[in-house]
Homo-oligomer: A and B are copies of this chain.
Amino acid sequence: MPKRIITISREFGSGGRQIGQQIAAELGITCYDKALIALVAAESGFDMEFVEATGEYAPRGKWLGNIAFGSGLRRGVHLIENLSISDRVHLVQNKVISEIAARESCVIVGRAADYILRERDDCLHVFIHAPMAQRVMRARDEYHLDAANIEKEVERKNKLRANHYKHYTGQTWGLAANYHLCLDSGAFGLRGCQEIIVNLAKK
């Protein structure tokens, strides 16, 4: 079946966000990146900056969501008061992503959307990565990261994403088997990646 939802997971600096935006524009659907953060902020009551920082980077402590909700909603509701702020953001993020996917064709960037939507068969799950040199270049040119220790900072951001993913999914971030398609944007270019994804999504 055609894949009407595309999730883009990406290394920091790989250009995955830009690829997601271009794909959405080409397919005439919404790219949930900043838009997703705005929805989670509105629903959770936290502000956007906090949601952006918390919703994809490693929280402290142990994720209790699966325990809280494993034995039924009543128990979950009872336990939700004990969840950390990170876990609350994560729960709202889960809910918002599931609702968007049920409602419309879209591109969703980051936020473990591949895992949250893993049971759906109308999703194309993509992971974008790139060699360090290109990630550093993009971090400097597009995110204006400081030139000193930039490589270390790029690695640190990836590590935080990996920890966050592990924490909430139990899976290893960037393992090929978790995605339908993984692309090296350094090898194919952003435009090349975009073409491959759009072609596959349409099939």
> How far, in Å, is A26 (CB) from chain B's closest CB?
18
> Which range holds the interface residue count of chain A?
20 to 34
Assembly CA distance A31 to B8 (angstroms): 33
Instruction: Please report whether the interface of chain A is mostly helix, strand, loop or mixed according to DSSP.
Output: mixed
Per assembly, the copies of the chain total 2
Which A138-193 residues sit within 8 Å CB-CB of chain B?
Answer: 172, 174-177, 179-184, 187-188, 192
- Are the C-beta atoms of B180 and A181 separated by less than 8 Å? no
- Are the C-beta atoms of A180 and B175 separated by less than 8 Å? no
- Are the C-beta atoms of B177 and A11 separated by less than 8 Å? yes
Kindly identify which residue among B174, B176, B200 contacts A188, using a CB–CB cutoff of 8 Å. B200
- Are the C-beta atoms of A180 and B176 separated by less than 8 Å? no
- Residue with the highest number of chain B CB atoms closer than 10 Å, among A124, A175, A203: A175
Assembly CA distance A180 to B179 (angstroms): 14
Assembly CA distance A124 to B187 (angstroms): 9
> How far, in Å, is A171 (CB) from chain B's closest CB?
12
> How far, in Å, is A116 (CB) from chain B's closest CB?
18
Flag whether A12 is at the interface (Cβ < 8 A).
no
> How far, in Å, is A175 (CB) from chain B's closest CB?
6
Contacts A172-B175, A175-B176, A180-B187 given; 10 further ones with Cβ under 8 A?
Answer: A124-B187, A127-B176, A129-B176, A129-B177, A175-B175, A176-B179, A179-B182, A181-B183, A182-B182, A192-B203
Can you give 5 A-B contacts (C-beta < 8 A)?
A: A127-B176, A174-B175, A176-B182, A181-B182, A188-B200
